[in-house]
Amino acid sequence: MMHRNILTTLYVGIAMSGSCGSGATEVSAGPPDPEVVHAPAAIAFTNVRVVSMISESRLDDQTVVIRDGRIESIEPSGSNPLPVDATVIGGPGRVLAPALIDMHVHLLRADLPLYLKAGIATVRNMWGHSAVAAIKRDIESGATLGPTVHSVSNGLDGSPPRWPATRLVNDPRDAETAVQEMVAAGWPALKVYQQLSAESYDSIVAAAKRRNMDFMGHVPTAVTVLHALESGQRSIEHLSGYDRAVTRRQGMGTFAWADVDPSRFGELVRRTIEAGTWNCPTMAIFVELSRNHTASDRASIIANRRLFVAELQRQGARLLAGTDAGIDVVSPGSSMHNELRELVAAGLTPYHALRAATKDAGEFLRVPGLGTVTVGAPAELVLLDGDPLASIENTRRIAGLTVRGSWYSAAALAALGSR
């Protein structure tokens, strides 16, 4: 298992609204929700407002039927008889939206309930190792309740190793063997990390491309962000590499963002779009890490990172919402709501912030329909007592969650164990 304090030490070292106001709704009193309904049973959500995430429009007074882990139908309420075998969950005043997807976590078994409690049904684990592989198997078999897990490989890095389970690639000639080991371990994508030499990075990229594998992660200190973009890195985490490209100071991470040259933003973003690279900026954790700075620098760090994300959004670069939870800086699960708030503070509408944690995340993960409320999509849904497109704060107002087609009410989620 990963030791959170190791990455925390590394990180600090590197770093030193819609149609109806707030979206609060009057939820009609009705019979209490069933606490748990297990897939493959049919469930009918009646009289709900649907936020499909296909567009900013909402569908009012709908009945959504799920069965066997998929969305079976979406129709105006009362237009057809309900399936006789369906468990009915009433929704007057409620909103049915896609469950959230946290696109950057460091997964621990004890944290699994915290993701579900926060309305998160899918996570992307950003450092593979044997404990994560075991957690993933247990969830998929039904032995353990948790979000669906997508994971990259062990981190490929240079010396000195900063995490346990690091695969060191100090010699570029070792890249082919290292990548083959990750393939043999079953990891579908590679994680590149901070201490790689430029030569080792290029050798890993070449080995990945020979296998048609994605590679993603940090932009190593020895590599420019433009080189990472030209190399085809699929996602960049924490805006790493951009920090060194825009700073007017020495250093990286939070230090770099304290003083930047905004005139450099536009060309970097244009090149990002040309490369087709996604960014997972992990905004909320940098708000926390910036507490290690003076009040003036802290305000600049937060403001400058928001400005850069605003430029990514303005030009149409692809964004993912992730928290970097699991290293004892931000809380697993609940920090996703802080991340969404930060994206809105950067200038995204609630719809575009939510897309980074739903539809766009599903597209990145290449799971058809994931992150949408559409017929045939995975039944990973959250029932809310407010409209998240009217106020992003309403993502916190969770009435229940479906994970792989099984329903858990707010009471059932509250009863789940936690660390």
Segments making up each domain of the chain, as ranges:
4-17+100-364, 36-98+372-414
Q: Count Cβ atoms within 10 A of the Cβ of residue 251 and give its class: 0-12 exposed, 13-18 middle, 19 or more buried.
A: middle
**Does residue 14 have a pLDDT over 60?**
no
Residues 45 and 64: their CA atoms lie apart, in Å, by 5
Through-space distance between the first and last CA atoms of the chain, rounded to whole angstroms: 15
Of 108-122, 291-305, 405-419, the least confident: 405-419
pLDDT for the residue 250: 86
**Does residue 281 have a pLDDT over 80?**
yes
Average pLDDT value for residue range 172-196: 98
pLDDT for the residue 7: 39
Average pLDDT value for residue range 294-310: 98
Average pLDDT value for residue range 376-399: 98
pLDDT for the residue 417: 79
pLDDT for the residue 29: 56
**Does residue 15 have a pLDDT over 70?**
no
Asked: is 36-98+372-414 a CATH 3.40.640.10 domain? The reply is: no
pLDDT digits (tens, 9 = 90+) for 89-129: 988 999 999 999 999 999 999 999 999 999 999 999 999 99
**Does residue 3 have a pLDDT over 70?**
no
Residues 166 and 172: their CA atoms lie apart, in Å, by 16
Average pLDDT value for residue range 293-305: 98
Fold for 4-17+100-364, please state it: TIM Barrel (3.20.20)
Edge-to-edge strand ranges of the sheet holding 189-192: 167-168, 155-157, 189-192, 214-217, 235-237, 278-280, 318-319
Average pLDDT value for residue range 75-90: 96
Average pLDDT value for residue range 172-201: 98
pLDDT digits (tens, 9 = 90+) for 121-133: 999 999 999 999 9
Residues 387 and 385: their CA atoms lie apart, in Å, by 7
Residues 6+ away with beta carbon under 8 Å from 408: 35, 36, 116, 400, 401, 402, 416
In the chain, % of residues over pLDDT 70: 92
How many C-beta atoms surround the C-beta of residue 225 within 10 A?
23
Residues 256 and 300: their CA atoms lie apart, in Å, by 10
Average pLDDT value for residue range 334-352: 98
* Residue 418 pLDDT class (50, 70, 90 cuts): low
Per the prediction, the chain carries an average pLDDT of 93
**Between 295-315 and 335-345, two packed helices, what is the crossing angle to 10 degrees?**
70
pLDDT digits (tens, 9 = 90+) for 262-279: 999 999 999 999 999 999
Average pLDDT value for residue range 173-194: 98
Q: pTM for the complete prediction?
A: 0.93
**Does residue 177 have a pLDDT over 60?**
yes
Name residue 418's amino acid: S
pLDDT digits (tens, 9 = 90+) for 207-235: 999 999 999 999 999 999 999 999 999 99
In the chain, % of residues over pLDDT 90: 90
